[in-house]
Amino acid sequence: MSSRGRPRSFSREQALKNAMHLFWDRGYDNTSLADLTRAMGLNPPSLYAAFGSKAQLFIEAVDFYGRTDGAGIWDYIETAPTAKEAVRQLLTRTAENFTRSGEPRGCMVVLSAPQMAGGDADVCDALKARRLEKQLALEHRFKRAVAEGELPPEVDCSGLAAYVASLQHGMSIEARDGAARDTLMAIGACAIAGWDAMIAASGRATATVPAASASISPSA
Amino acid sequence: MSSRGRPRSFSREQALKNAMHLFWDRGYDNTSLADLTRAMGLNPPSLYAAFGSKAQLFIEAVDFYGRTDGAGIWDYIETAPTAKEAVRQLLTRTAENFTRSGEPRGCMVVLSAPQMAGGDADVCDALKARRLEKQLALEHRFKRAVAEGELPPEVDCSGLAAYVASLQHGMSIEARDGAARDTLMAIGACAIAGWDAMIAASGRATATVPAASASISPSA
DNA sequence: CGATTTATGTATTGATCGATACAGAAAGGA
DNA sequence: TCCTTTCTGTATCGATCAATACATAAATCG
């Protein structure tokens, strides 16, 4: 559109990357504009001219995260040959991605603003939408697996997606709390080890957690 | 000690309860002292005299949460007759607790301040310690199950505890994002359905997520 | 009673928050 | 060249942040 006017003296991408790292590390609330302008190497008016507001900058930073550091986690859900392999890849890549040295641990989308009340509504909604989007992608993949005959038709694709998403979200907390890569890998290994049994049981008991098989009789 | 002086004109427990609800709903950063004094029905000097600071009030509120609304989730880990039943109870109670009407959804310990950088260090450390404490309680319970012969000695108790804790933490995100109780129950049902297979596989593959059994051959 | 101790209500503190006003600088268009 | 457009740096805006000074009220102790 307009190439008129004084040209921008900083790289928008680089500034966005720096902002993303800061938000990722500290969260939305704990990152101040003073922190941002310092890390991005520009003054407030330049920041507002380029990004609009702190909230809009954050949302752009989340998108940037999804295109860069957060990429590669969910990218193979559709291309993996089976649903089980898709989950295995997801959890393996998650374990690797969440424990890369020199970067904040865990997922920016999960950790940077989990509260839904009191904060900026646009920020919360943007993060929530991205979380649900991934969960829906899982459900979609599982439904495809049903259509392809990999999974039986009775399987509860929605519940299974919620299970995998929940586990993957929880790994962000684990990672932020200091879990080693091996620990995150062990978490993924558990899910994969139980996968076939989950599939076999799914659809028969979706709404209630069935009682444990009483190999040891309960209490009395 | 001292019954001298003008008596407190408010219920410390009630004020703490109100503060807890606010912190639980909005998180630490998004709750201001103005919010707190209004909800607690007292003036700033009374708050500071009774609780010390915002951070100390928060930590007391977290303890209060653990004694009240958060209680009942983890209380049966040790008393459940088997490890599997302990996990089933944990996840069932979690699903119920996280979706009670009239209360914030999800766990205060997970949601109210997950960031480890930039915020108040005491607050972050207190929450992290409470999370790890629960995970260690799980590991402890699993080790006991090994000693009692319920679980085989090769089982990776630490990895299994991380798996269950991760899933339970992720359920907080799901709940806050609006998941129904049935959905959370389905998540728990998945874990229970896969439990025996996880136990059977545990210890044989702890540090890596094994490749999916190629019932459908991968790619080429 | 008077002295001491503790809590309360009003008013306000300095710091920091996110966001701008303003003037000068650097580009293109005529 | 002069005008318009856009960005940059300085300085600062009003609002809100967590936290207190201060005087007064209400209790116990001697």
For chain B, helix (H) and strand (E) counts, in that order, are: 9, 0
How far apart CA B129 and CA A171 sit, in angstroms, is 17
Task: Print the domain residue range for B35.
Answer: 12-66
Name every chain B residue with its beta carbon within 8 A of the beta carbon of A183: 158-159, 162
> pLDDT value at position A220?
29
Domain shared by B145 and B195, yes or no: yes
B189 and B131 in a single domain? The answer is: yes
- Average pLDDT in the A118-147 region? 97
Domain match, A169 and A98 both: yes
In a domain? residue A213: no
Residue A158 in domain: yes
For residues A111 and B115, the answer to whether their CB atoms sit within 8 Å is: yes
Q: Which two tokens stand for residue A15?
A: 């500034």
As for how many domains chain A has, the answer is: 2
Residue A149 lies in a domain: yes
| Closest C-alpha to A87, from A37, A137, A152, A31 | A137
Residue B2 pLDDT > 80, yes or no? no
Residue B220 contacts A where some CB pair is shorter than 8 Å: no
Residue B10 pLDDT class (50, 70, 90 cuts): very high
Residue B2 located in a structural domain: no
Give the pLDDT confidence score for residue B214 in this predicted structure: 39
Query: What region, left, alpha or beta, does residue B107 occupy, with left being phi > 0 and alpha being psi -120 to 50 degrees?
Result: beta
| CB-side neighbour CA atoms (13 Å) of B83 | 26
Whether residue A3 is contained in a domain is answered as no
Backbone angles phi, psi at B77, to 5 degrees: -60, -50
- The CATH number linked to A174 is 1.10.357.10
Which of A49, A66, A83 represents a domain boundary (last residue)? A66
pLDDT of amino acid A116: 79
Where are the alpha helices (H) located in chain A, listed in sequence order?
A: 12-26, 33-40, 44-51, 54-67, 83-97, 108-111, 121-147, 157-176, 181-201
CA distance linking residue B122 with residue B12, whole number of Å: 22
Q: Which residue of B has its CA nearest to A86?
A: B212
d(CA A161, CA A141): 9
Q: Are residues A75 and A145 in the same domain?
A: yes
| Residues A85, A172 share a domain | yes
Contact (CB<8Å) B115/A119: no
Do A45 and A142 sit in the same domain of this protein?
no
Nearest partner of B151 among B53, B208, B83, B55, judged by Cα: B83
Give distance CA B30 / C1' C30 (Å).
Answer: 54
Residue A220 within a domain? no
Could you tell me if B146 and B49 lie in one domain? no
Q: Which of A58, A209, A213 to mutate to test the interface with B (most CBs of B within 10 A)?
A: A209
Any domain includes A5:
no
| pLDDT at residue number A202 | 84
Tell whether B61 and B82 lie within a shared domain: no
Q: What is the pLDDT of residues A37-96, one digit of tens each?
A: 999 999 999 999 999 999 999 999 999 999 999 999 999 999 999 999 999 999 999 999
pLDDT band at B220 (very low <50, low <70, confident <90, very high): very low
Shared domain for A53 and A76, answered yes or no, is no
As a whole number of angstroms, the distance between CA A119 and CA B55 comes to: 19
Last residue of a domain, one of A66, A84, A111: A66
> Virtual CA dihedral for A170, A180, A75, B214, nearest 10 degrees?
-100
Taking residues B146-159, report their average pLDDT: 97
The span from the CA of A152 to the CA of A158, in Å, is: 14
Q: Is residue A217 part of a domain?
A: no
Nearest-Å Rg of the Cα atoms of chain B is 21
- Nucleotide at minimal C1' distance from the A48 CA: C19
A-B C-beta contacts closer than 8 Å: 269
Counting Cβ atoms within 10 Å, is residue A132 exposed (0-12), middle (13-18) or buried (19+)? Answer: middle
